[in-house]
Amino acid sequence: MAGGTPRTKQGAATVNGVHTDIVCTAFGDSIFVVVTQYQKLGTLVQVVPGVSVDGTSAPTYTTRVLLGKDEPMTHVFARSLGEKICPHNDYKPFTLAVALKDWSPQVLHAAEELVLQNKVW
């Protein structure tokens, strides 16, 4: 999609009794993913895929909070999404905006599934 217009897909679902919005936008060199239960962006996290030191094992994912709360579960969720998104978009970096009311494993898994249902890469 180099030089083209951004592609966006959005969806919504009720996750664990809470309305959850998903927006995925693909740009030429990156992806922007929004997962929110508050109808606002929340914490912004940059996810950059890398290669392992030995070059033979699974890729690594560096996560960095750009704005918002720097919580361990934010990094867990961002890395998990990285494992699902990056192999399908030539390992380009992406930015995640996340604002969840519930950070339980069930909610995180459901949010990941919603992102994959609305993928644009």
Name the strand (E) or helix (H) holding 38.
none
- pTM: predicted TM-score of the whole model, two decimal places: 0.91
Quick one: pLDDT at residue 2? 54
Q: pLDDT by residue (tens digit) across 29-62?
A: 899 999 999 999 999 999 999 877 776 677 889 9
pLDDT tens figures, 80-100: 999 999 887 788 899 999 999
Q: Considering only CA atoms, which of 45, 11, 20, 44 is closest in space to residue 101?
A: 20
pLDDT at 40: 97
Q: Could you tell me which of 12, 34, 31, 32 has the C-alpha nearest to residue 23?
A: 34
83 touches 61 (CB < 8 A): yes
Q: What percent of the chain has pLDDT over 90?
A: 78
Q: Tokens at residue 27, please?
A: 């740009």
Percent of the chain scoring above 70 in pLDDT: 95
For residue 9, give the 3-state DSSP assignment.
Answer: strand
User: Helix/strand/coil (H, E, C) string of 52-101?
Assistant: CCCCCCCCEEEEEEEECCCCHHHHHHHHHHHHHHHHHCCCCCEEEEEECC
